[in-house]
Structure 1
Amino acid sequence: MWRLFLQRRLVHSSCCAMKKLKSKTGAEQRWLLRQLKDPYVKASHAQSYRCRSAFKLLEMDDKFRLLQPGHTVVDCGAAPGAWSQVAVQRVNSSGADPDSPRGTVVGIDLLNIPRLDGTHFLCSRDVTDPATHAELLELLPDRRAHAILSDMAPNASGFRDMDHERLVTLCLSLLKLADEVLRPGGDLLCKYWDGILARKLQEELSKAFDNVRIIKPNASRKDSAELYFLARTYRKAIKR
């Protein structure tokens, strides 16, 4: 019955999307057609994830085991909440598995995010703001986190180099956040767009973490400049 419901839902969504095509510009039509054909978009509907990006984190976590039951996770740029959904499942922050330790997930975004069981969202907050850091610390057990996740990105300007620089700047700001909340031995996973400043970002991460690697998950579109830095084993001491 549930499978039949999902099939009908997908068919209905496809029909609605095709009707919308007629009123769209050429670029908008291409985007909609790509969405209709995208297997990760279809899978996100079928598995009730808020967007396709959930599969990027699922894939990376399956391979590198970042998220463990009982862990505390900070999700930066959390809207619409797909990464937080994955984190809730993996760290058991909703208590779905009574036999496993219960973790904590806190999401931060400039936008409002619909409520999600097992997550505390700090909405309308700037992740680079020290006031946000202070508020976050009050929500973390022992005022520390095991992992910082970031799938955030600035609004695209259409100028690739400018957008690349702005995203690298956001990623660098996560090192300041790590100084405040990341426990020694913790991990940081952040999205960036490839470009001339990528090496600088990697060098800065390498100063604070034992190991830094580049990841391109299969769920990232092949024509996208999107990549991820996974920085493992944080070395710096937590500020008090």
Structure 2
Amino acid sequence: MFGRIHRRFVCMSSRLAKKKSQAEQKWIGRQLKDPYVKASHALNFRCRSAFKLLEIDDKFRLLQPGFSVVDCGAAPGAWSQVAAHRVNSAGTDFTSPLGTVVGIDLQHISPLDGVQFLSNHDVADHETHAKLSGLLPGGRAHVLLSDMAPNASGFRELDHERLVGLCSSSLMDLAEKILSPGGSLLCKYWDGALARHLQEKLSLEFASVQSLKPNASRKDSAERYFLARNYKRPVKGKTFF
């Protein structure tokens, strides 16, 4: 099955490459050689990024059955797929607690069993926060995931600054509203001069913060992730037991 899918992908990509620019042809060639792209087809993941979260979760066990998870920048849904399986939000494991997964993105996201998507929603919008509170048990989440990033401008430092700003403002604001004390946050950033400032800000809110680069992140990419655990601050207006 996977072989047929991959052959169709190769043939289609080869035809498209003839009409593409040099940069686009280079991207297609890289995709054809990428083992994570091939594996994502074989395992029916929506994209290769699923393996980044799988690797991190295998090591740190962030996603436990029964947990509530919010996936920011969820499109096309690969991280939500992983989260849904690990927290049992589709109820496929009758012996484990039932979890909750909510994915948010500015783009449309195709439906997925066990996941409630807020398509065409902005993480920074207070209306989105209100909808999240209604979807999450008790209005809170155990884990906040973010693989989101602004559209690339082509200027590395500018893109770095914009992503760090997105994490330190919109994501931290969302954490203050919905993340349970003791909860975890995993967010993507692009390495650069401001990464240390983001780490310092996270360290004020979480007991531990570490920088990770999973194997599925391409070696030539500035992409990294901050894993922040044991959230210190209570959610405003909420009482926890």
TM-score, normalized by length of structure 1? 0.97
User: What's 2:217 paired with?
Assistant: 220
Aligned residue number for residue 103 of structure 1 = 99
- Name the structure 1 match of 2:130: 134
- 1:190-205 equivalences under 5 Å are 190-205=187-202
- Alignment deviations for residues 154-187 of structure 1 (CA, whole Å, 9 cap, x no partner): 0000011111111011111211111110000000
**Farther-moved stretch of structure 1 (12-21 vs 152-161):** 12-21
CA distance in 2 between partners of 1:201 and 1:151 (Å): 16
Equivalent runs, 1:89-238 vs 2, <5 Å = 89-172=85-168, 173-238=170-235
- Alignment root-mean-square deviation, CA: 0.6
SS of aligned partner of 2:153: coil
Range with bigger deviation, 10-19 or 195-204: 10-19
Report what 1:34 is aligned to. 30
Residues 12-32 of structure 1, C-alpha deviations (whole Å, 9 max, x = no match): 111111111111111110000
Does the residue aligned with 1:33 lie in a helix, a strand or coil? helix
Q: Cα offset for 1:82?
A: 0.3
Task: Report SS of the residue matched to 1:67.
Answer: coil
Matches within 5 A, 1:19-98: 19-98=15-94
Q: Structure 1 regions of 5+ residues with no counterpart?
A: none
- Runs of 4+ residues deviating >3 angstroms: none
How much has 1:216 moved relative to structure 2?
0.2
Residue 6 of structure 1 and its aligned partner are, at CA, apart by: 1.8
Task: Tell me the amino acid that sits aligned with residue 224 of structure 1.
Answer: S
Give the SS at the match of 2:216.
coil
Q: Any idea what SS the aligned residue of 2:189 has?
A: strand
Report the secondary structure of 1:135's partner residue. Answer: helix
- Whole-angstrom distance in 2 between the partners of 1:223 and 1:6: 28
Aligned residues: 236
> Unaligned 5+ residue runs, structure 2?
none
* Separation of aligned partners in 1, 2:163 and 2:228: 17
Instruction: List per-residue Cα deviations over 1:181-223 (Å, max 9, x = no partner).
Output: 0000000000000011101100100000000000000000000
> What residue identity is the alignment partner of 1:116?
L
SS in 1 for 2:151: coil
- Quick one: distance in 1 between partners of 2:234 and 2:193? 30
Give aligned-pair identity as a percent: 66
Q: TM-score, normalised by structure 2?
A: 0.97
The residue matched to 1:99 in structure 2 has which SS?
A: coil
Partners in 1 of 2:126 and 2:165 — Cα distance? 16
Residues of 1 paired with 2:61 and 2:220: CA distance? 27
